[in-house]
Amino acid sequence: MRSSYLFTSESVSEGHPDKVCDRISDEIVDLVYREALKTGVDPWTVRIACETLATTNRVVIAGEVRVPHSLMKKDKDGNIVKDAYGDPAINPAKFKAAARKAIKDIGYEQDRFHWKKVKIDVLLHAQSADIAQGVDSSSDQQGEEGAGDQGIMFGYACGETPDLMPAPIYYAHRILQLLSDARRKGDGDVGKLGPDAKSQVTVRYNDGKPAEVTSIVLSTQHLDAGWDSAKVREVVEPYIREALGDLPIAKDADWYINPTGKFVIGGPDGDAGLTGRKIIVDTYGGAAPHGGGAFSGKDTTKVDRSAAYMARYLAKNVVAASLAERCTIQLSYAIGVAQPLSVYVDLHGTSKKVTEDQVEAAIRKIIDLSPSGIRRHLSLNKPIYAKTSSYGHFGRKSGRDGSFSWEKLDLVKPLKDAISA
């Protein structure tokens, strides 16, 4: 390992155009799970693959779903209406309401992107029967629920921060979270910031450990057109310093605060957004591999999402158990097949206690890595996904509602016991 190097990660706020789309897509996921639980439909049977596009006062929601009858279009006699292809038609009303709720909560009340005035098109339709047959229970040769698609998923953890995340992405997220919290309170000048923002943090590593911040980049929307870069820095610098905490800022650090100057036009009016375009922001900031699949808008039969959560859960518990200082885990799946094709562990030469082979064997011993096993173990069939859509899916605190269950450290003892045995 190099003795000294620089590494950079970026984050984007919940008002970034792509994150607006991620939030809407995850609100749709939560809506479907919530309706299933409310109406007595088995949440294991719902399916959502929802993509969102946002631009100037326009939102388009598209994708494939299997939803409770309460979300379907009905005629005056209460019968479900069929669409032009003979499939049950989706009632757009609740989906539009979920999108408006998300946009309002983010804070968009601008003339050219306003939660009340934005036009919303809902182009959701029934899930393909060909895809469904690969996922539904008893689909594979062992009679287990198969994976929703082929693919590779990675999880990562390291001892650089309290939440076992890489330092650059951890602090880039934290800067924007603090600014968002302050903006929402609306006190003083910070209340004049807009929802759209991006941050970037460069960290110098010495002997593999974060030593200091060498550059800080922040571009944030502001609603006062008279502000310049110096004014924005005056407003945001205290929050940046608070976010970085005990990580020193180098005396000669570069500060780039709204480096292009005025940033009044923001959000989907300034730049079109799409679901799933911030997958590195969502994960480890480039410090670990990524399988390529996005998370937002997908129910957890999609291993793009659920297996990535499981891989993070496993890697975090390996590091928390002091089996290694860094851990990368890869899982791979084939559509319609329940068990993973491979489980790969890399401890990056940071373990003196165990080998990768031992950790791989322990994981297979203590955890069912089938899609249904993952959903069951992490309790994923719940409306808990809207809050994952910004500031990262990892390195968060698990909630009482079951959110971020993949951040728990309840595998530490089972891992140690399995390896000892």
Which amino acids are annotated catalytic?
Answer: 16, 18-19, 51, 64, 198, 263, 271-272, 277-278, 298, 302, 304
User: What single-letter amino acid sits at 260?
Assistant: T
374's enclosing H/E stretch is: helix 371-378
Whether 61 contacts 118, CB under 8 Å:
no
213's enclosing H/E stretch is: strand 209-222
Whether 393 contacts 153, CB under 8 Å:
no
Burial of 296 (0-12, 13-18, 19+ CB in 10 A): buried
CA distances from 154 to 46, 242, 369, 381, 391 (A): 25, 31, 14, 21, 18
Whether 392 contacts 199, CB under 8 Å:
no
Neighbours of 62 (CB within 10 A): 17
Helix, strand, or coil (residue 193)? strand
Whether 52 contacts 112, CB under 8 Å:
no
Residue 26 phi/psi, 5° resolution?
Answer: -75, -25
Question: Residues 6 or more apart from 251 whose CB is under 8 A from it?
Answer: none
Residue indicated by tokens 């959110």: 403
Residue indicated by tokens 């928390």: 320
Residue indicated by tokens 């158990």: 321
Residue indicated by tokens 């809506």: 31
Give the Cα-Cα-Cα angle 37, 283, 264 (nearest 5 degrees): 95
Handedness of CA 183, 297, 198, 279 (dihedral sign): positive
d(C-alpha 336, C-alpha 356), whole Å? 28
Helix, strand, or coil (residue 406)? helix
